[in-house]
Amino acid sequence: MGKVNITRRNFIKGLAATGVISLIVPSLSRRKELFSIPKEIAAKYALIIDLNKCVGCGACADACRLRNHLPEGQSFIKIYRKETNGREWFLPVQCQHCIIQPCAWVCPVNATYTTEEGVVLINEARCTGCKYCLVACPYQARILNEKTGTAQKCWLCLDYVLGGGEPACVHACIPGARLFGRKDDPNSEVAKLIASGKAVPLHPEFGTKPNILYYVPIE
């Protein structure tokens, strides 16, 4: 089966056709009534996934599993197979490191927080394993560690990043579908791609302002 050329139209059509990810939190206007919205942090980093390069090989998910010592078959990255006009393509999904965070609002112990780099993390020492954040995440990107009883998710391998490296999934991507860099550097490839309008969020209607974006050429 040939690989489809992913355009913005195919991207939206593919999401609507399968409905793998569903909105499970109230609308943004309703959430404003339920929760206080924290001051936004201008994220320094962004990860852009080129859907025309992703072949669904799973190398990113495997690297994530090994890096985070997760059980066999478990990863912070899920890869969904999509089909548009009889052609297949793949959609990798992980924590979107959102600026607007339903997962943080529902946490009764404030275990979810955002670093000054704009990376969303979980304080496992505080987490009680109530699973509220797992349900509130509209991207279904969190898992529960059965051994520790705490919520876990992608943390962009922040220790590698602060040391001058890149997330394990980016390093492992064989076709080079993952581009990681600084949003606050106008000369970076990431910043240029975002400025071009070709890097778009997954389900922008959720209103979460993700820092994980997808390269979708404009038709």
Q: How far apart are CA 12 and CA 74, in angstroms?
A: 27
pLDDT tens sequence across 176-217: 999 999 999 999 999 999 999 999 999 999 999 999 999 986
Q: Is the CB of residue 183 less than 8 Å from the CB of residue 20? A: no
30 — pLDDT class (breaks 50, 70, 90)? very low
C-alpha closest to that of 83 among 8, 1, 203, 138: 1
Query: What are the pLDDT digits (tens) for 39-57?
Result: 566 679 999 999 999 999 9
Q: What is the pLDDT of residues 118-176, one digit of tens each?
A: 999 999 999 999 999 999 999 999 999 999 999 999 999 999 999 999 999 999 999 99
pLDDT at position 38: 52
Number of domains in the chain: 1
Q: Note whether residue 98 is domain-resident.
A: yes
C-alpha pair distances (Å), 165 with each of 69, 130, 159, 170, 195 = 19, 34, 8, 10, 24
Q: Specify the CATH number for the domain of residue 210.
A: 3.30.70.20
Q: Is residue 73 part of a domain?
A: yes
Q: Is residue 60 part of a domain?
A: no
Task: Please return the burial class of 48, using the count of CB atoms within 10 Å of its CB with bins 0-12, 13-18 and 19+.
Answer: buried
The answer to whether residue 184 sits within a structural domain is yes
Which domain, by its residues, includes 175? Answer: 8-42+67-215
Structure tokens at 99: 């600026």
pLDDT band at 29 (very low <50, low <70, confident <90, very high): very low
Q: Which two tokens stand for residue 60?
A: 């990113």
As a whole number, mean pLDDT of residues 27-42 equals 51
